[in-house]
Structures are given as structure tokens and as C-alpha cells.
């Protein structure tokens, strides 16, 4: 199982993308590019770096200054257009999944307007998915008064769900996501249920057994989303200890 769990380049943001991928390839055959800073796919040299490796790729879409739920259509449209450029680059790179955050509202009294704006953006992204032939998936967010999609129920307009396990743990919504959503991709990290700490697996309160069983039985792509290489290595060690319990769970059915 562990060789199929990818690693986010977030743990290697201090390195140029090529160097980051050099460090990932001994650990996994899958990498998720965090499309920010040195690893932005809006930089053509990073597409060349990706092409130099035999890794399979997913891409975490743009985050900085992007809000697809903005009530100001100029900002919303610009955010969608930035995603378009990154989605096109991801498709060129052969990535299988492009991850999108569902945006936010700065004030509770704008929530309904922001949700309407988000609906428009999700329709745009669905059309973009068809155009570029890459799966665009929406990530659930951690507990917050201003972020969307912390619990199941958002109409994704036909896009898939990225189950961020750590985010769901802060909301107490992990079981609900597993029970009700059609999961397309998974982010793995841990926390104590209070804040989005991106701890190594096993250092918080998250129950990973059912998630790993779903990944294994359904063949869903997944990545470790830790902040450092040390965190990645700790998570990989934790996965090796959890895997026998997952296999036993499957055999008992």
C-alpha cells in the first residue's frame, strides 16, 4: 500500500521542484505538486522538471490570492482564469488530478452571495475539466467560520471530492464524508481535532484505518501532506504499522 501513497512537494518547498522530486522518488512513485512559489506550474521550467522523472503526478491547485467564491465577479473570474492556466499546465504534465479549494467569505452576512459565486465557479471548473481531460476535485476545508465545504452537502456540479482527512478531523466530519461522498482523491495528515496542524500520521487523534481501507479497496489516489521531510518519513513509518491492521480488517469481512 505505502508505495502507492504519494508525497506532496509542500514538504520540500525550500527546494527547486527538480530537487524536491529527486528527494521524493526514493520514497514513492507518486508526487503531488503544490502549485505555489518555487513549484508553481505557471513557470514552464517546472513542467520540464516534472518531465524528467518517471513519477505519477497530481497537482494541488493555486491558493495564494485565489478565491473562487469571491462576491466580486472580477476577482472570482480572475481566480477561475488562474486555475485555467494551472489546469492546462497540469494536463500537459500528465497529472491525473487537480485539487481546488472552494473559496471563502470574509463576512458571515455575505455567505449566501459567496455560495452563489462559488456555484458559478464550480460550473466553470466542470467545463474546464471536460476541456482539458483532467479530474478537477474540490477539497473539504478545516473547521472555520469563513471557509466552505467543512461538511458534506455542497453541490460540486459534477466535480469530485478530495477528502482531506486532517481537515475533516477538525470538524468531526470524517465519518460523514466516508459515508456520503464519492471520494476521488485523499490527503493524509493528522491533528488533535482542534487545529489544522498537518502532523505526521499517528501523532493526533485521527482514525486512519477506515480511510486506508477505502484507499486500498477502491484504488483511490492519496498523498501525504506534511510540512517537512521528517514529517513525511514519520508518516511512512506509521503507514507501515497501520497496514497490517487494515489488511486484517479486510480479511475479517
Quote the pLDDT of residue 246.
Answer: 53
Between vectors from CA 44 to CA 98 and to CA 28, what angle results, nearest 5°? 50
- For the chain of 253 residues, list the mean pLDDT of each consecutive stretch of 10: 80 98 97 98 98 97 98 98 98 98 96 98 98 98 96 96 98 96 95 97 96 94 98 96 58 46
* pLDDT computed for residue 250 by the predictor: 41
| Cα dihedral sign, 90-91-95-101 | positive
pTM (two decimals): 0.95
44-51 and 17-24 are packed helices; what angle lies between their axes, rounded to 10 degrees? 30
Q: What is the CATH number of the domain that holds 194?
A: 3.20.20.150
pLDDT of residue 4: 81
**pLDDT attached to residue 2:** 42
Contact 33, 87 (CB under 8 A): no
Structural domain containing residue 26: 2-251
Grid coordinates representing 154 are 455542497
Residue 170 grid coordinates: 477538525
Q: What is the DSSP string of 213-247?
A: HHHHHHT-EEEE--SSHHHHHHHHHHHHHHHHHHH
Cβ atoms 189, 224 nearer than 8 A: yes
pLDDT of residue 93: 98
Give backbone dihedrals phi and psi of 156, rounded to 5 degrees, phi first: -90, 5
| Separate counts of helices (H) and strands (E) for the chain | 8, 8
Number of domains in the chain: 1
Strands (E), the chain: 5-8, 30-34, 56-60, 97-100, 135-139, 160-164, 183-188, 221-224
Tell how strand 97-100 and strand 5-8 pair up: unpaired
Amino acid at each position: 500500500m505505502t508505495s502507492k501513497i504519494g508525497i506532496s512537494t509542500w514538504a520540500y518547498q525550500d527546494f527547486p521542484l527538480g530537487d524536491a522530486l529527486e528527494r521524493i522518488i526514493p520514497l514513492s512513485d507518486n508526487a503531488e505538486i503544490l502549485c505555489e512559489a518555487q513549484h508553481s506550474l505557471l513557470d514552464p521550467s517546472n513542467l520540464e522538471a516534472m518531465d524528467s522523472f518517471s513519477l505519477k503526478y497530481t497537482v494541488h491547485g493555486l491558493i495564494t490570492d485565489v478565491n473562487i467564491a469571491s462576491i466580486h465577479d472580477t476577482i472570482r473570474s480572475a481566480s477561475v482564469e488562474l486555475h485555467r492556466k494551472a489546469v492546462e499546465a497540469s494536463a500537459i504534465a500528465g497529472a491525473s488530478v487537480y485539487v481546488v479549494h472552494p473559496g471563502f467569505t470574509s463576512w458571515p452576512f455575505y455567505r449566501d452571495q459567496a455560495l452563489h459565486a462559488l456555484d458559478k465557479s464550480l460550473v466553470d471548473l466542470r467545463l474546464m475539466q471536460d476541456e482539458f481531460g483532467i479530474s478537477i476535485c474540490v477539497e473539504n476545508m478545516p473547521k472555520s467560520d469563513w471557509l466552505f465545504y467543512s461538511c458534506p452537502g455542497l453541490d460540486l456540479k459534477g466535480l469530485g471530492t478530495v477528502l482531506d482527512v486532517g481537515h475533516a478531523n477538525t470538524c468531526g466530519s470524517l465519518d460523514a464524508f466516508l459515508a456520503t461522498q464519492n471520494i476521488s482523491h485523499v490527503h493524509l495528515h493528522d491533528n488533535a481535532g482542534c487545529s489544522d496542524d498537518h502532523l505526521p500520521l499517528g501523532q493526533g487523534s485521527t482514525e486512519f484505518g477506515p480511510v486506508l481501507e477505502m484507499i486500498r479497496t477502491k484504488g483511490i489516489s492519496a498523498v501525504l501532506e506534511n510540512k517537512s521531510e521528517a514529517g513525511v518519513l514519520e508518516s511512512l513509518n506509521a503507514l507501515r504499522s497501520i497496514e497490517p491492521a487494515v489488511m486484517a480488517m479486510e480479511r475479517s469481512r
